[in-house]
Structure 1
Amino acid sequence: MTIREGIALPMLARNVTHFMRLLRDAGFGLSPAHAVDALDALRHIDIGQRDEVRAALAALTLSGPDQRPLFDAAFDLFWRDPDWEGKLRALLLPRIDAGAPPPARSNRLADALAARTPGPEKTPPSVSEERVAVALTFSAHERLAERDFETLDAEEWRALQRLIRTRRAHLGLQRTRRLRAAAHGTHADLRASARLAVRQHGEWLRWKYRQQAERKAPIVLLLDISGSMSQYSRAVLYFCHALMQSRERMHVFLFGTRLTNVTRALRERDPDDAVGLITGQVRDWAGGTRIGTALAEFNRHWARRTLSGRATVLLVTDGIDLEDIDLLDAEMARLARFAHRIVWLNPLLRYAGFSPQARGVQAILPHVDVLRAAHNLDSLLQLETLLADNAPGWRPHTKGHPGQTNFEGTTWK
């Protein structure tokens, strides 16, 4: 059925379409086809039963458990209260509790409504006035790259995803002991030169050479997906998807309360499909943290298979772990023996006055080679320069290595 302009849609169809657009603006990966599927699904249920309508729309729109709270809030406000727009606008207003300053707002639903709410009418421009529309300028790129992942709204998240998607990283190569055929070099290939001479009736006219082969160094990502790391974990996954599309040798493991290998899921061509598949596969997303137990499982089952060939381990976590600290210390020491080097990406380093007071941070710190921040796009792009250098790592222990900055703001000698 084709819908022409000027023909009014039934009230239910218009409301369902409006609801799907609201979810899409709030960050859900939906297309216009989802609205058509939703209308078709409502024909097979009793629309008088609220729970059935909620379950049908949730089955079509949700791609992971982390989207459920946002969906429930949008469904309750849209389908229950006639003044749902007023309540959504109220989410944009700061709240004051007991005289405390209002918390930082991070509400994708309110951002989506604000983007769709028409502003006050403006006088039309004159004929002589010139307008230049620029979707995202270079300055906007710079500002977006410096923004903390935790403070981005839905539109900024989509812009950030487009920036990461269009980027192709090329990391450093490492020499191997294997030799490959080359047009010139210092290693003469006698067998290939002899075969060439036979084909030329015994005339030894040209030499064949071999040179050392180069390959990309493997990378192993251990990503914390606990509640305090949820926004940063999603951004790192998009960044690692771009690395895998650049044919980097990478293995990706997520850990919260358990360890999950998501390397195969991250090979999907579309990053949104890959992240959606991962959030549906991982059951402990935005849950608790058991870093020591997860590292023990990785060292026991995966370390020997993934850390061969001078592999670099990227450990992305805030280090907040309240369980067995002795186990965490022992497993970090074991991981350091397997890996060529360990790069710790900690979002808490965005705070200038951060110091390693937590016991989990103190247990991890002596076993890492490099300590970097991972709270915005700039920090992730600086990681490419670090990974391009395959120099042997340092073990900072309690003092640090040359060029690394400690928590007091001084540089280790």
Structure 2
Amino acid sequence: MSEFAAMDALTKPSGRALADNLLAFARLLRRTGLRVGTADVLAAADALSLVDIADRRQVHAALRGVMVRRHEDFAVFDQAFLLFWRDPEAGRNAAAMAMLEGFKERQKAPPTSRRVAEAMTPPKQAPNQRPPEPEEKPPIEVAMTVSERERLQSMDFEAMSATEIAEAKREIGKLVLPLDERRTRRFRPDPRGPVVDLRATIRASLHEGGEILALARKRQVTRPPPLVALCDISGSMARYAQILLHFLHAVTNDRDRVSSFLFGTRLTNVTRQLKSRDPEVAFELVSHVVPDWSGGTRIGESLELFNRHWSRRVLGQGAVVLLITDGLDREGAKGLAEATDRLRHSCRRLIWLNPLLRYEGFQPKSQGIRAMLPHVDDFRPVHNLQSLRSLVETLSGPQPVRRIAA
């Protein structure tokens, strides 16, 4: 089929090809993760009736205008539009991916191309497997479902296979981190508020000739505190950091005032990159700005840089800090205790997440761990889904009062 074969089919007087192609294109977009419903398909049909169907650019602009709601989904839509309207049968022979790889030898393919290619490729079927008869109900496998899910919750990230890691990433994307709300210095008008707003009361009395007919009231504003994550991406933490980035991405897109930093031999702020709603696009952006992935570790130097350049910017209003590292520093304990102590005094709560706590006989023998441990408020494991869920439950409840050393 030629490049514009699908476009020519849409010009048939019957209109049947128009509905079939739009429904197939909508199903493709849904498989790539875009939210496209029946109302969007009807709106797309109406939009195509107002443009010249023979003009590819007009059709592209009309469909994207009614079927895409978020700016982050434009790249996925453009890739799907290119492949689908070039050859709707590409999903049967996976020619779309081969075409992309052959065309982009000098230019790296965008992270959305794999999603679109997988969406256009039907699931593989065993050679000797026969499809079930239409009148027969497909068998439903329910055995071991609960046990497999429980096993995944307690399995160490480092022991997971590629399929299990993909499933763990999907489960991490569903986690929500609602921190307990804290009172701020701001007030908002509230007719049933506990505080009388004298200024608003006098301002309202001016409209009544100076007579105070009612008291204006206000209430103190409460909001969750900022969340700051410092994640170690050195060689010993590379496997865990790769999965925990999905957790940080989900938290960043679920709530506001989240700051994320990665450190190995240097400190990198990746807050802006993780704000992209598409995880593949976000991690592609992170890979461009982080030069020291799976390298050495300089925890003390990285924390000192954070305290000097970033603490006053992101640690205001009772921020909670998640320090994700195994505590194995190539510089030993040089400056590590001082940097950790300063970080602790700059935030409301410092939580250290260490994957080495997965071992029952863990003991803080390394110099870095012994230097950091006295200066943290909480020391928790982070090696499986169950530990992440426990962290979410802990941060969502009332926070303990920090004890001040004499």
Q: Same fold (TM over 0.5)?
A: yes
Aligned in 2, Cα 1:121/1:395: closer, same or farther, shift over 3 Å? farther
Aligned-residue RMSD, C-alpha: 3.6
| 2: CA distance, partners of 1:352 / 1:168 | 28
Contact 1:356 1:362 (8 Å CA) reproduced: yes
1:323 aligns with 2:331: yes
| 2: CA distance, partners of 1:248 / 1:201 | 44
Partner of 2:56: none
Residue type of the alignment partner of 1:236:
L
Partner of 1:22: none
Partner of 1:404: none
User: Normalised by the size of structure 1, how large is the TM-score?
Assistant: 0.65
Partner of 1:250: 258
Residue type of the alignment partner of 1:276:
E
Partner of 1:403: none
How is 1:36-75 mapped onto 2 (pairs within 5 angstroms)? Answer: 36=96, 38-39=98-99, 42=102, 56=105, 59-60=108-109
Aligned in 2, Cα 1:370/1:120: closer, same or farther, shift over 3 Å? farther
| 1: CA distance, partners of 2:107 / 2:384 | 31
Partner of 1:10: none
Contact 2:228 2:319 (8 Å CA) reproduced: yes
Q: Which of 248, 252, 264 does residue 240 from structure 1 map onto?
A: 248
After TM superposition, the structure 1 stretch with the greater mean CA deviation from structure 2, 261-270 or 226-235, is 226-235
Contact 1:347 1:375 (8 Å CA) reproduced: yes
Partner of 2:281: 273
Aligned in 2, Cα 1:128/1:309: closer, same or farther, shift over 3 Å? closer
Q: Which of 382, 387, 392 does residue 401 from structure 2 map onto?
A: 392
Residue type of the alignment partner of 1:295:
L
Report the structure, 1 or 2, having the larger helix content: 2
> By how many angstroms is 1:372 displaced?
0.2
| 1: CA distance, partners of 2:127 / 2:401 | 57
> By how many angstroms is 1:302 displaced?
1.0
Q: Which runs of 5+ in 2 are unaligned?
A: 6-75, 84-93, 113-122
| 1: CA distance, partners of 2:222 / 2:191 | 16
How is 1:6-405 mapped onto 2 (pairs within 5 angstroms)? Answer: 36=96, 38-39=98-99, 42=102, 56=105, 59-60=108-109, 118=126, 131-132=139-140, 139-199=147-207, 204-388=212-396, 389-394=398-403
Contact 2:175 2:389 (8 Å CA) reproduced: no
Contact 1:346 1:372 (8 Å CA) reproduced: yes
> By how many angstroms is 1:392 displaced?
3.2
> By how many angstroms is 1:365 displaced?
0.6
Contact 1:170 1:246 (8 Å CA) reproduced: no
User: Normalised by the size of structure 2, how large is the TM-score?
Assistant: 0.66
| 2: CA distance, partners of 1:57 / 1:137 | 45
Contact 2:237 2:294 (8 Å CA) reproduced: yes
> By how many angstroms is 1:255 displaced?
0.3
Q: Show CA shifts across 1:203-235 (max 9, x none).
A: 644332112111211111110001111121122
Aligned in 2, Cα 1:254/1:131: closer, same or farther, shift over 3 Å? same
Contact 2:176 2:392 (8 Å CA) reproduced: no
Aligned in 2, Cα 1:217/1:287: closer, same or farther, shift over 3 Å? same
Q: Show CA shifts across 1:244-295 (max 9, x none).
A: 2222321111000110000000111112221222123211111111111111
Contact 2:231 2:262 (8 Å CA) reproduced: yes
| 2: CA distance, partners of 1:376 / 1:329 | 28
Q: Show CA shifts across 1:298-335 (max 9, x none).
A: 11111122212211211100011131413212222222
Q: Which runs of 5+ in 1 are unaligned?
A: 5-29, 45-55, 64-114, 398-413
| 1: CA distance, partners of 2:377 / 2:296 | 26
Residue type of the alignment partner of 2:181:
L
Residue type of the alignment partner of 2:96:
V
Contact 1:366 1:395 (8 Å CA) reproduced: no
| 1: CA distance, partners of 2:316 / 2:328 | 29
| 2: CA distance, partners of 1:274 / 1:196 | 50
Aligned residue for 1:371, secondary structure, equals strand
| 1: CA distance, partners of 2:258 / 2:344 | 18
Aligned in 2, Cα 1:217/1:35: closer, same or farther, shift over 3 Å? farther
Residue type of the alignment partner of 1:238:
H
Contact 2:315 2:347 (8 Å CA) reproduced: yes
Contact 1:368 1:395 (8 Å CA) reproduced: no
> By how many angstroms is 1:183 displaced?
2.2
Contact 1:220 1:252 (8 Å CA) reproduced: yes
> By how many angstroms is 1:157 displaced?
2.2
After TM superposition, the structure 1 stretch with the greater mean CA deviation from structure 2, 131-140 or 378-387, is 131-140
Residue type of the alignment partner of 1:393:
R
> By how many angstroms is 1:394 displaced?
4.3
